[in-house]
Amino acid sequence: MISSIIFTVLLLATAVIFARRIGEIRANINLGRDQDISDNKSERWKTMARVALGQSKMVTRPLAGFMHIFIYVGFVLINIEVLEILIDGIFGTHRLFYSVLGSEVYYTFIGIFEILALLVLIACVVFLVRRNIGKLKRFSGTEMTSWPKSDANIILIVEILLMLALFQMNAADSVLFMLNDTIVAAAGLDHYTEIRFDSWFWVSGFFTGYLPNDPTTLFYIERACWWFHILGIFGFLIYIPYSKHFHIFLAFPNTYYSRLEPAGEFNNLESVKKEVELMMDPNQDPFAAPAPAEGETTAPQRFGAKDVTDLSWKQLMDAYTCTECGRCTSECPANQTGKLLSPRKIMMDTRDRVEELGKHKRANGAEAKDGKALLNDYISPEELWACTTCNACVQACPVNINPLSIIVDLRRFLVMEESKAPNELNMMFTNVENNGAPWQFAQADRLNWKDE
């Protein structure tokens, strides 16, 4: 009874902390501009099924892809066993699904879960080795400071410990289930005599060798592992929304709202279009402040983006979905040729900045400004101008994140609001303005080449 109460209180506390953090992230994402992405629903469902559910972009790198699929499938299916643990914890039952499914089905299910748990364990060990001993290049970089590195290791280690606790819990239980009924009942564990198996569980059977035959000791070992396992899961749930592993939730909506237009197509800025329309309309007062667009309550949109509030909610959701895998950076030609640019850093900076601004607003009111901006305080013009707009990062991202759209919006601000384009571009702009072409030749000389 006491244990059920403690369990329920801990479960509720975890749910409250988790929900509070989700509320913060939601509010932070809503700091972004509104963007209507309600078109093409069937195409969007298909994209989500293919990319998030089917992990189609993960397997382009087979080792990481298949190991990730083990963790993903294991994580989803093992949750059925976690569901049983939750029900047992609340109602004080023990292996409730045994009485529902019957001995054979239950035994088979636990066996399958154990095989999945073993695959998760192997995948986590491989990932740990690759990160820390293999020193894969894409896991390094200026943005991969001690926190992102520890974040990845913490989750992998916790997952390994959780799987080991699961095996040990099942191992202790299966020994108990095979002991003589009279011995078990004599130890005051009558309810254990209701569950009987003929052999060890498929994987945890290998963890039984050093276990004693004393029912009381087995009971305490099982309870210790049970509590460790479930408290680890509660801790995991509280930790995940602060970690890059939040992608396990956001990968689905983020791929649903993927950009469906051709990769090379650029959007026209509504704010620029309005400005041009204003200039062309002789009835407009050229000195009047621009009116907010229909449905807009805030100041009119800037030309491009200076801070996270100028980006759309989808671009901010991208930032929270980033897994920091570095596939984008490893494919980036600018990064490969030693430039300062790393698309992963663009996403991490965007997330760090929106977190910072969100915290500031929660503490000081929705209108409060902190005097900082994404541009310059986090991302430098040098990084932005190194981008070739090739889209390789977008193509490589396993969860359809678009770092290029943020780069382009920040560059648009530099050019259109601050006139801070690099000299080479300024020359090209002047040529387009004067000559109708990017080159330094007058229009009249265009056909001179035929006389050569």
Please report how close the Cβ of residue 360 comes to ligand SF4 at its closest, in angstroms: 25
Choose between 301 and 350: whose C-beta lies nearer to ligand SF4. Answer: 350
CA 417 centroid distance within chain: 32
Choose between 78 and 341: whose C-beta lies nearer to ligand SF4. Answer: 341
**Stretch binding ligand SF4 (CB under 6 A), from 31-39, 169-177, 343-351, 363-371:** 343-351
Please report how close the Cβ of residue 383 comes to ligand SF4 at its closest, in angstroms: 9
Residues 58-97: x where in contact with ligand SF4 by CB under 6 A, - otherwise, as a string: ----------------------------------------
DSSP helix/strand/coil, 386 = coil
Question: How many chain residues interact with ligand SF4 (CB under 6 A)?
Answer: 29
Residues 220-259: x where in contact with ligand SF4 by CB under 6 A, - otherwise, as a string: ----------------------------------------
Q: How does DSSP classify residue 379?
A: B
Closest among 343, 352, 336 to 396, alpha carbons compared: 343
Our CA angle for 170, 175, 178, nearest 5°, is 120
Number of other CB atoms surrounding residue 441 within 10 Å: 12
Within 311-340, the residues that bind ligand SF4 by CB under 6 A are 322-328, 331-334
Choose between 170 and 402: whose C-beta lies nearer to ligand SF4. Answer: 402
Residue 379 sits at φ, ψ, to 5 deg, of -115, 130
**Stretch binding ligand SF4 (CB under 6 A), from 23-31, 79-87, 388-396, 417-425:** 388-396
Of positions 387, 406, 410, 414, contacts ligand SF4 by CB under 6 A: 387
Choose between 219 and 413: whose C-beta lies nearer to ligand SF4. Answer: 413
Choose between 205 and 333: whose C-beta lies nearer to ligand SF4. Answer: 333
Q: Which residues pair with 379 in a beta bridge?
A: 375
Of positions 375, 392, 406, 410, contacts ligand SF4 by CB under 6 A: 392
- What is the C-alpha to C-alpha distance for residues 416 and 406, in angstroms, rounded to an integer? 15
Counting contacts by CB under 6 A, is residue 391 touching ligand SF4? yes
Please report how close the Cβ of residue 323 comes to ligand SF4 at its closest, in angstroms: 4
Within 393-422, the residues that bind ligand SF4 by CB under 6 A are 393, 396-397, 399, 401, 403-404, 407
Choose between 179 and 407: whose C-beta lies nearer to ligand SF4. Answer: 407
Residue pair 59/66 in contact (Cβ under 8 Å)? The answer is: yes
Residue 254: Cβ-neighbour burial (10 angstroms; 0-12, 13-18, 19+): buried
Please report how close the Cβ of residue 260 comes to ligand SF4 at its closest, in angstroms: 18
Please report how close the Cβ of residue 40 comes to ligand SF4 at its closest, in angstroms: 22
Residue 339: Cβ-neighbour burial (10 angstroms; 0-12, 13-18, 19+): middle
Residue pair 351/320 in contact (Cβ under 8 Å)? The answer is: yes
Please report how close the Cβ of residue 363 comes to ligand SF4 at its closest, in angstroms: 29
Closest among 215, 181, 216, 206 to 195, alpha carbons compared: 181
Contacts 24+ apart (CB under 8 A), 290-295: 295/34
Please report how close the Cβ of residue 332 comes to ligand SF4 at its closest, in angstroms: 3
Please report how close the Cβ of residue 230 comes to ligand SF4 at its closest, in angstroms: 30
DSSP helix/strand/coil, 334 = helix
Q: Which two tokens stand for residue 430?
A: 């002047």
Please report how close the Cβ of residue 68 comes to ligand SF4 at its closest, in angstroms: 12
Number of other CB atoms surrounding residue 127 within 10 Å: 23
Dihedral of CA 116/320/357/149: which sign? positive
Query: Whose structure tokens read 């997330």?
Result: 351
Please report how close the Cβ of residue 267 comes to ligand SF4 at its closest, in angstroms: 15
Q: Which two tokens stand for residue 112?
A: 């399958």
Phi-psi region of 201 (alpha: psi -120 to 50; beta: other; left: phi over 0): beta
Within 144-173, the residues that bind ligand SF4 by CB under 6 A are none
Choose between 125 and 390: whose C-beta lies nearer to ligand SF4. Answer: 390
Please report how close the Cβ of residue 282 comes to ligand SF4 at its closest, in angstroms: 41
Closest among 63, 172, 159 to 117, alpha carbons compared: 159
Choose between 229 and 345: whose C-beta lies nearer to ligand SF4. Answer: 345
Choose between 88 and 318: whose C-beta lies nearer to ligand SF4. Answer: 318
DSSP per-residue string spanning 90-158:
HHT-SSHHHHHH-HHHHHHHHHHHHHHHHHHHHHHHHHHHHHHTS--GGG-STT--HHHHHHHHHHHHH
Of positions 96, 390, 415, 425, contacts ligand SF4 by CB under 6 A: 390
Q: Which residues bind ligand SF4 (CB under 6 A)?
A: 322-328, 331-334, 341, 343-344, 347, 387-393, 396-397, 399, 401, 403-404, 407
